[in-house]
């Protein structure tokens, strides 16, 4: 693991620090993080952690947080389920909507 911070946490999990000393409870999780990181959790951890610290900072300023929340909500129309289903219907299933 490239991230010393994440590696230290995974070591603690592996050693049973969060399971009352039981090293088997989280063995599948540890194995996936170390050997089969399909979603690149470990590879992206430092970038994610840095971004989370920025989010934490923004949260402490209500005006900044409110502005960001409003702008994010206003810009999310493209990601609606209606648009996605319409796209699947047209592009994949070649069907027209019924009104």
pLDDT digits (tens, 9 = 90+) for 35-82: 998 888 888 899 999 999 999 999 999 999 999 999 999 988 777 888
Pair 16, 50 in one domain: yes
Pair 77, 55 in one domain: no
Domain count, the chain: 2
Pair 56, 86 in one domain: no
Pair 52, 92 in one domain: no
Pair 76, 53 in one domain: no
**Predicted structure pTM score:** 0.58
Pair 8, 45 in one domain: yes
| SS (HEC) of the chain | CCCHHHHHHHHHHHCCCCCCCCCCCCHHHHHHHHHCCCCCHHHHHHHHHHHHHHHHHHHCCHHHHHHHHHHHHHCCHHHCHHHHHHHHHHHCCCCCCCC
d(CA 26, CA 13): 7
Q: Which residue segment(s) compose the domain that 73 sits in?
A: 62-99
pLDDT of residue 75: 86
């Amino acid at each position: 693991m490239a991230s010393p911070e994440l590696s230290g946490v995974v070591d603690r999990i592996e050693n049973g620090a969060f399971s009352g000393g039981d090293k088997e409870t989280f063995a599948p999780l540890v194995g996936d993080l170390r050997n089969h990181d399909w979603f690149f959790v470990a590879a992206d951890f430092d970038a994610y952690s840095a971004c989370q610290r920025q989010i934490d900072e923004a949260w402490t300023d209500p005006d900044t947080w409110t502005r960001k929340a409003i702008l994010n909500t206003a810009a999310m129309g493209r990601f609606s389920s209606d648009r996605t289903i319409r796209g699947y219907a047209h592009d994949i299933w070649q069907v027209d909507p019924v009104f």
